[in-house]
Structure formats: structure tokens, C-alpha cells
Amino acid sequence: MAALNLLTTKGLSRNFGGLWAVHNVDFELPEGQVRALIGPNGAGKSTFVGLLCGRIPASSGSVQFDGRDVTALPAHKRIALGMAYTFQITSIFAKLSLWENVALAVRRKHHGDANAVEGGVKAALSRVGLADRADQLAGDLSYGHQRLLEIAMGLGQQPRLLILDEPTQGLAESEVDDFKKLVRNLAGETTVLLIEHNMDVVMDTADMITVLNFGEVLAEETPETIRDNSAVQAAYLGTG
């Protein structure tokens, strides 16, 4: 039996000053899948994610999450429904400890239940390998570790959908390997949408890949098929 779609868009578009950053995108993300979103710079990936999260209003089209039309909902209400996302630029609280950063996210889920918050923070920091740094100030972390902290903040919300925008940017090679293991462990437990330039990460973690180019879907196939797609090679992989 095929998995139900957790996220669906129909004709989703965004126009900026007469230019289509995203144009007429139909997109389906089954529950439990790890989906990679790739494409050249300027392809519309970040705009598309902003439309999904509610940070950017759509010019036309619709977004459905878990069977509900969320097109008009602001970002914080989509978070409450089970979306979590990280940005290309980290959005941590530099003067708070790692523990306090993650606790802020976990409290959204557990509404002040102290035991649940403590357990949630520990679990989230452990999953990204930062449990031993819980008391450290977030601003003292390397950029790569700040990226991992932001992922922990997302995981702490126990989201139905976790959107990761360039999560391996700034990570050392060993940290990238750990990230790939983390995503593989999340597979089936949480639906993941991964916007990523590192093709090794994409090929090693994604169940399916969606390729955007000029704001439109160029291809949507398995990693193995995408690798051999001549249109994708020409537009993005540089081998055409």
C-alpha cells in the first residue's frame, strides 16, 4: 500500500516584480520519505521552501499539509501543525546555552511539562552528537556545530515534517558522515525534505529527488535515475 502524502502543492507559484521565482509547481511528499530538493543557484529552492513554511505568501496555487489546506496560514501556525525547518543562515540564540536553545523548541511541543522537556532536550542533543556540550553557549560553537544545534532544535519539536535547508554547509567531513547517519536513522520516523548542494549527501540519503530549474520541476526520480538524466546533467550536475 502506497504511503499517504503528508505534503502536497498544486500550481504553487510566487512572482516577484514580474519574475516567476516558483511557477506552477505540483509536488507530493509521502509520509516517512526522505526527499531531496536540488537545482542550480537561482532555481527557486529557497523560495519554494519559504512557500511551504509560510514565510513567503503564494501568488497562486495551494499548499496542503496532512490533508489540510494551509496556504493562508502563517509560519507559526504551520509549526504548530507539525512542520519544523532550519535555514541556510543559522537562527540560534547565541547568548543561550545549547540546552536552553533546544528547550525553547521542545516547550512548543510539551507546553511546560518539565520532565518531558528535559527528556526531549537530552534526546535531541544526543541525536546530533552535542549532548556533551549542553551547557556551552551556542555562540561559542563552530559554524558547523551551530548547524547541528539548529537541527536539534527542529528535532526537539518532534515534527511530522522536518525541512533542512543546506544543513551540511560548514560541516567537517566527519560531521557530514554523522549527518548522513542521522538522516538515515530518521527515515520512516519523520518525513524529511532536504535542500542540499552536496550530491554525496543527496545520493546517500534521499529516497527520491526533485530537481528545480527556473522555478519549475525539471525532474522527479530516484537518485540512481537522476544521476543518469541528461536534462539534469546539463542543468545542474555539470556532466551534460
E strand spans, 41-160: 60-65, 68-69, 83-86
Tell me the pLDDT tens digit for each residue of 182-196. Answer: 898 888 789 999 999
Cell triple for 92: 540560534
Instruction: Say whether 179 sits in a helix, a strand or coil.
Output: helix
Res 66: pLDDT: 95
Res 23: pLDDT: 97
Domain membership of residue 228 (yes or no) is no
Res 107: pLDDT: 87
Res 81: pLDDT: 93
State the average pLDDT over residues 123-152.
Answer: 93
In the structure, what pLDDT confidence band is assigned to residue 149 with cuts at 50, 70 and 90? Answer: very high
Domain range holding 121?
91-158
Domain membership of residue 214 (yes or no) is no
Domain membership of residue 144 (yes or no) is yes
Q: Is 73 exposed, middle or buried (0-12, 13-18, 19+ CB in 10 A)?
A: middle
What is the rounded average pLDDT for all residues in the chain? 90
Beta bridge partners of 36: 194, 209
DSSP 18-53: TEEEEEEEEEEEETT-EEEEE--TTSSHHHHHHHHH
Structure pTM?
0.88
In the structure, what pLDDT confidence band is assigned to residue 240 with cuts at 50, 70 and 90? Answer: very low
Q: Is 174 in contact with 118 (CB distance < 8 Å)? A: no
Beta bridge partners of 8: 28, 64
Instruction: Give the number of domains in the chain.
Output: 1
Domain membership of residue 146 (yes or no) is yes
Tell me the pLDDT tens digit for each residue of 42-87. Answer: 899 999 999 999 999 999 999 999 999 999 999 999 998 999 988 6
Domain membership of residue 56 (yes or no) is no
Domain membership of residue 213 (yes or no) is no
